[in-house]
Structures are given as structure tokens and as C-alpha cells.
């Protein structure tokens, strides 16, 4: 029996990316159990997977859950992720994202779990010196949030040395979109991400999108990011677990499309699909925003056999349809 024959514990599995990954794991035939505090997650997003409500720092709960469900692998999403908040309330991020992860890993190790796929971020690289960004780019976080992700990557690496833990740190670029069947998507209530905010600006009469600067050294003056469809991102987690289960060595992997899209390109794509303009206003630049960042996805293909299948059009289309359905109550 390998770790692929057991159950996957998904922390934060009631959240946006977590819930899509739970569905992908279920579709791949894996048994899954979700641990989520439901502070930011939605019970209904878990759909048919068992849900344990609790905190990742509760070692007794984690160990009991692992033993009860026969957990052999962990996917760890549970974390706070608002960059601005992390600078205003850093202790919240150190306690949950870093210290909480240590408690979680200790409990999982006690239950015999030795494979971890970690939800990291391209923000660990800060403003990259060159694009596209490769995995050997300098680690230079520019926020407490990003530093918390970089610290956990390092912690997992040391657990590999001291305890034989195997880990894949998936450095996401900009996750976006919704499931193609319209079942789950990103709740814009708590989101600071461009695409759900663009949807807000096109669907709500009282909301206007802020564009933070249009005077950057880019073709249209706005910042460039790598937007990856959430279902593609979920698939990367499934492939990372398979990689570890087959004896793969610990590694960090950039998860992106390799294509950058500007803020105005996202706004224009949204307007085209919605058939109406996206209300927006250009305001001052925001501190800490890299001008341009997008992934070199070669390592993901070579290591995990993964590459993105969906483009910006599919991302915007699925996001628009999902947000529209939430407003009209059709789902």
C-alpha cells in the first residue's frame, strides 16, 4: 500500500481553491476529508466530502481525524491571505499561517502522514528581477503574508531533513474563475482579487473598480499578472499528490500559465463577455505592486506532468456566469 491508497486531508477545503481541489480529488477517485474552521469557508462548497469543523492548531483533533479516516496525505490551504491586513495585524498571520502549520504538521506526523502539498504563493519572490519567473528566483517577500508562505516552505524543508516529510510547495500565480458546471466559485465578499472585483463592477450598480496606476512601463500602463483557472490549479494539487505518492522528491513548483494579462485586458475581457462596461477609476499606484509577474511553467510540466488548459477568456466567462447566478438565485 502506498500513500495514494489512503485518504487526503484537505485543510481549508471549504474555501475557494480548496473546494475546487476537493472536487478534483473526488473526481480522480480519491477519498477526502476536509478540515475547515468555516471562518471564511462555506459548508455547502464541500458538497459530498466529510467535513470536520475545527482549527489546524488543534493537534488532538487533527490526529484523531487522520486516524479515523485513514489519512496518508495532506493538502494544506488553511491560511489568511489578505496582504494589506497582514501588514496591519501581523500577529494574526504568524499565529495561524506559521505557528498553526507547525501544530498541523506535528499532528499529521504523529498519525503517520508524510506527504504534504502546500498552498504557497508566487508572492514569495516579491518583485521578480526577470520574467517569466522560475523556481530558482530569489525569495524576497514584500509583505507579512508573503513572508508567512516563505517561512512555511522553509519549515517543510526542515521537516524533510528531521522527520522525512515529503512536500511540494505550489507557488500559485493569480487563481480565478469558477467551476465549469457553475456549482462553486469565489465569494467576492472577502476577495481583494481583480477578477471578482471586476465582476462586482459590472454586475452591481453601486460599485466601482479601482485601477491602481496606469503609468507603468507596460503596453497599456497597467500591471501584468498571470491568471490561472481555478480548475487548472486544482488539477495541479491532484498531480502533486500523485507525484509524492510515487516517491517524488520535495520541490517547489510555479503554477501559472506562462502568459501575462494586464488590468485593462481583464477589464476589457469582462466587458466583452458581460456586454456592458466595467465601471472603473484610475487611482494612485498601490505600494508593493510588482509591475509584471508571470510564471515559467516548465518545471510543473517536467515534474508533475501539469500544464494549464484554460485561458483568460474561460476564466472570465466562468467567473461571470457564476457571479450572475449568485445574484439571480438560480443556484
Residue 171: count other Cβ atoms within 10 Å of its Cβ.
Answer: 25
**Cβ-Cβ contacts under 8 Å for 31 (sequence gap 6 or more):** 6, 7, 8, 69, 70
Cα–Cα distance, 121 to 328 (Å, whole number) = 33
End-to-end CA distance of the chain: 41
Which of 16, 69, 80, 145 does the annotation list as catalytic? Answer: 145
The rounded Cα 182 to chain-centroid distance in angstroms is 19
The rounded Cα 75 to chain-centroid distance in angstroms is 11
Local structure of residue 327 (DSSP, 8 states): H
Give bridge partners of residue 175 from the DSSP assignment. Answer: 228
C-alpha cell at 44: 455547502
Cα–Cα distance, 140 to 99 (Å, whole number) = 21
**Cβ-Cβ contacts under 8 Å for 320 (sequence gap 6 or more):** 199, 202, 270, 273, 274
Residue 191, helix vs strand vs coil? coil
Cα–Cα distance, 263 to 213 (Å, whole number) = 10
Q: Tell me how long the chain is.
A: 331
**Does 145 participate in catalysis according to the annotation?**
yes
* H helices present in the chain, as ranges: 16-27, 59-69, 83-88, 90-93, 100-110, 144-163, 194-203, 230-245, 263-274, 298-304, 312-328
Q: Which residues participate in catalysis according to the annotation? A: 145
Amino acid at each position: 500500500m502506498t500513500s495514494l491508497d489512503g485518504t487526503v486531508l484537505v485543510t481549508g477545503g471549504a474555501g475557494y481553491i480548496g473546494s475546487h481541489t476537493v472536487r478534483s480529488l473526488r473526481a480522480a477517485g480519491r477519498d477526502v476529508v476536509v478540515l475547515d474552521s468555516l471562518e471564511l469557508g462555506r459548508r455547502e462548497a464541500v458538497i459530498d466530502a466529510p467535513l470536520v469543523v475545527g482549527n489546524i492548531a488543534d493537534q488532538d483533533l487533527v490526529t484523531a481525524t487522520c486516524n479515523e479516516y485513514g489519512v496518508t496525505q495532506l493538502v494544506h490551504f488553511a491560511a489568511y491571505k489578505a496582504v494589506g491586513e497582514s501588514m496591519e495585524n501581523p500577529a494574526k498571520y504568524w499565529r495561524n499561517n506559521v505557528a498553526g502549520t507547525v501544530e498541523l504538521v506535528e499532528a499529521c506526523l504523529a498519525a503517520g502522514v508524510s506527504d504534504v502539498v502546500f498552498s504557497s504563493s508566487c508572492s514569495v519572490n516579491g518583485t521578480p528581477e526577470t520574467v517569466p519567473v522560475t523556481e530558482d528566483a530569489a525569495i524576497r517577500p514584500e509583505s507579512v503574508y508573503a513572508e508567512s508562505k516563505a517561512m512555511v516552505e522553509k519549515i517543510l524543508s526542515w521537516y524533510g531533513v528531521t522527520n522525512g516529510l515529503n512536500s511540494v510547495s505550489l507557488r500559485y500565480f493569480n487563481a480565478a474563475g469558477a467551476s465549469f458546471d457553475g456549482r462553486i466559485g469565489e465569494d467576492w465578499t472577502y476577495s481583494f482579487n481583480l477578477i471578482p472585483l471586476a465582476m462586482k463592477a459590472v454586475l452591481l450598480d453601486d460599485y466601482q473598480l479601482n485601477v491602481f496606476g496606469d503609468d507603468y512601463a507596460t503596453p497599456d500602463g497597467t500591471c501584468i499578472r498571470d491568471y490561472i483557472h481555478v480548475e487548472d490549479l486544482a488539477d495541479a494539487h491532484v498531480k502533486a499528490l500523485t507525484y509524492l505518492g510515487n516517491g517524488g522528491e520535495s520541490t517547489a513548483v510555479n503554477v501559472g500559465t506562462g502568459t501575462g494579462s494586464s488590468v485593462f485586458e481583464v477589464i476589457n475581457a469582462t466587458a466583452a463577455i458581460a456586454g456592458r462596461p466595467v465601471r472603473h477609476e484610475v487611482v494612485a499606484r498601490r505600494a508593493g505592486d510588482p509591475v509584471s509577474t508571470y510564471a515559467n511553467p516548465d518545471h510543473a510540466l517536467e515534474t508533475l506532468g501539469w500544464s494549464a488548459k484554460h485561458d483568460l477568456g474561460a476564466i472570465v466567462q466562468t467567473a461571470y456566469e457564476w457571479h450572475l447566478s449568485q445574484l439571480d438565485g438560480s443556484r
